[in-house]
Amino acid sequence: MIKYEKFFLHLFSTILILFFLINLYQISTQHWSGLIDMDIIVIYNSLLVSSGYEQEYRDHPAFTTFLIIGGVFKLLSFFQDSYSTNIDVILSSQNIDKTFQYYFIVARIINYFINILLIYFFYKFLNLLKIEKILNYLICLILIFSQWYSMSFFALRPEILSIVFFTIAMIFILSNKRDIVLNYFIAGIFLALAMLTKIQVLFFIAFPIFLIPIFSLDKGKQESTFIKSKILSNYLIFSLILGIIFYVVLQILIQDHPRFERNKYLDLFFFLLSFSIISFYYLFYNKYNFALFKKNILLLSSILNGFIFLIFVFIFLDQVNFLEINNFIFLRITNPIHYLTEYTHTFAEGTISINFLIKSAYDILSSYSFSLLELFSLLFIVFLNIKKNYNIDNQHVIFVVILLLIFLMNSTINSFSRGYIYYHSYYTFCYLVVLSVCVNNFKNKYSNYFIYFIFIIFTYNSFYFYTFPDSRRFFHKEAFNRKIELIQICKDLNLQKDLRKPPLKIHFFQYYQEKFNDKALNNLCGELKS
């Protein structure tokens, strides 16, 4: 066993060092404007944060991404004075291009280490799920060679960081260290960080919520001693009820805002429906045992308290002017469904009705854009696993079924929402969790064949191309042959003077980078020409 562990450690080290060298080579050949979405956005907004401004980009909202990268920018400024971190100083200087290229390199190196953190925490997560070590290494190897992970080294995106935060949350939930209530509270904090990074991770929250009855079984079966403090127990119940009432009232009040004119009560409906399903599920799973039901509710409240605690911390930091936070970010946390559906035709014009729900469900289920071979392979493995344990271990069967349903929910919704390769990250994470739990249960030499087969599929898909719903294709080689988008933007700058409507690229550029007015852009274009 030790021999195999050393082999895998050396293998992972070699692969990740190789990724680092390839990453450095790609950085050296790429201009900072190579990806107008989202390299430029990340660099610019991170500089805004380091300058003491609010982020301008808030679509999903990438707050923690800008906070971390901007914080590193600021930290580096104490050790060098060649490059300013003040966005106003940068845009008024004659070295805009050079400065942005420098911070692009820094941001990409930070991005590399965020990717490495995911591998580490994913391994720890699977280890707490009691996945056999060799299998754990193989699953992590599949993760490394998955399509989205290999591409994530060559683009600044928030998806990886959101999954890192989520994985840490799950580690705290599964951990036996410290008090269980404290663990779930800390998990709530990291879930909030995950959502502040990318609101698409919202559907991942189904993992801790629906697995609470299973995870909590091994952590204090005597519900009477689960929480020794009656004050704490009452507080958790009271805070949950108060939180629900506050959220309902908030949703009713904000629906008059023009933003919700065409799309009303989606989040309120989703919340009430979800909470009803969760409550019924807790009762049903615990065979209507109120003591067990209460235990699950208390743990759910602990997560919610951790989540709200972090939001209040950021609100406080904003109020005392320690951080400048765009208020629309908090609106995205309270209304994630609304913002997630802004780019989908079905929901964008929708109000809650039976026809609306039927049409929405059909569109979601009929828009699956991931690999069908991967899907059917997993379904086959799940089927064999359920067949093996059906009359032996009902709890394991329920566990697998819940994991599968969460996987199907996340993959179909993310496929429907836009289907980009970057959202493949959420699909892959869920996929590998289901796969690892099922294969680990087989406990025989033939189980490795499943892993080898899946590894081949993932590797093939990674080095093939991914077809987007809008027929765009993303090749790996494009990462090493990106155009300098700034050249076209500079052409558009001269062209727009003769047009009523600005060309698409310069419109996109200045919409998301508001401080790049025509004067700053003219200076930048002048640098590029020289």
128 inside domain: yes
Give the model confidence (pLDDT) of 91-149 as tens digits: 998 889 999 999 999 999 999 999 999 999 999 999 999 998 989 999 999 999 887 88
203 inside domain: yes
Contact 172, 183 (CB under 8 A): yes
**How far, in Å, CA of 325 to CA of 328, rounded?**
9
Phi, psi torsion values for 40, nearest 5 degrees:
-60, -45
421 inside domain: no
Query: 75 and 200: one domain?
Result: no
Structure tokens at 18: 């190789």
| Angle made by CA atoms 118, 123, 129, in degrees to the nearest 5 | 125
**How far, in Å, CA of 119 to CA of 425, rounded?**
13
Distance of CA 201 to the CA centre of its chain: 4
Query: 194 and 268: one domain?
Result: yes
How many structural domains does the chain have? Answer: 2
What confidence score (pLDDT) does residue 389 get?
84
- Taking 50 as the pLDDT cut, the residues of the chain under it are 220-225, 345, 348, 465-475
Contact 434, 211 (CB under 8 A): no
424 inside domain: no
Query: 68 and 203: one domain?
Result: no
**How far, in Å, CA of 399 to CA of 259, rounded?**
40
520 inside domain: no
Q: In which domain, by residue range, is 110 found?
A: 1-157
Structure tokens at 154: 């060559």
Task: State whether residue 473 is helix, strand or coil.
Answer: strand
Closest among 428, 429, 417, 426 to 201, alpha carbons compared: 426
399 inside domain: no
What confidence score (pLDDT) does residue 494 get?
75
Query: 197 and 323: one domain?
Result: yes
Query: 64 and 166: one domain?
Result: no
What confidence score (pLDDT) does residue 59 get?
82
Query: 151 and 13: one domain?
Result: yes
Query: 148 and 163: one domain?
Result: no
Query: 190 and 320: one domain?
Result: yes
Three-state secondary structure of 13-55 = HHHHHHHHHHHHHHHHHCCCCCCCCCHHHHHHHHHHHHCCCCC
Query: 221 and 150: one domain?
Result: no
252 inside domain: yes
Residue that terminates a domain, selected from 352, 369, 395: 352
Which pTM value belongs to this model? 0.90
508 inside domain: no
Query: 216 and 343: one domain?
Result: yes
Give the model confidence (pLDDT) of 41-52 as tens digits: 999 999 999 999
**How far, in Å, CA of 95 to CA of 345, rounded?**
43
Query: 42 and 169: one domain?
Result: no
Task: State whether residue 141 is helix, strand or coil.
Answer: helix
What confidence score (pLDDT) does residue 471 get?
36
Query: 30 and 125: one domain?
Result: yes
Which residues are CB-neighbours of 215 under 8 A, at least 6 positions away?
173, 174, 208
Residue that terminates a domain, selected from 157, 183, 216: 157
Contact 403, 125 (CB under 8 A): no
Residue that terminates a domain, selected from 352, 367, 402: 352
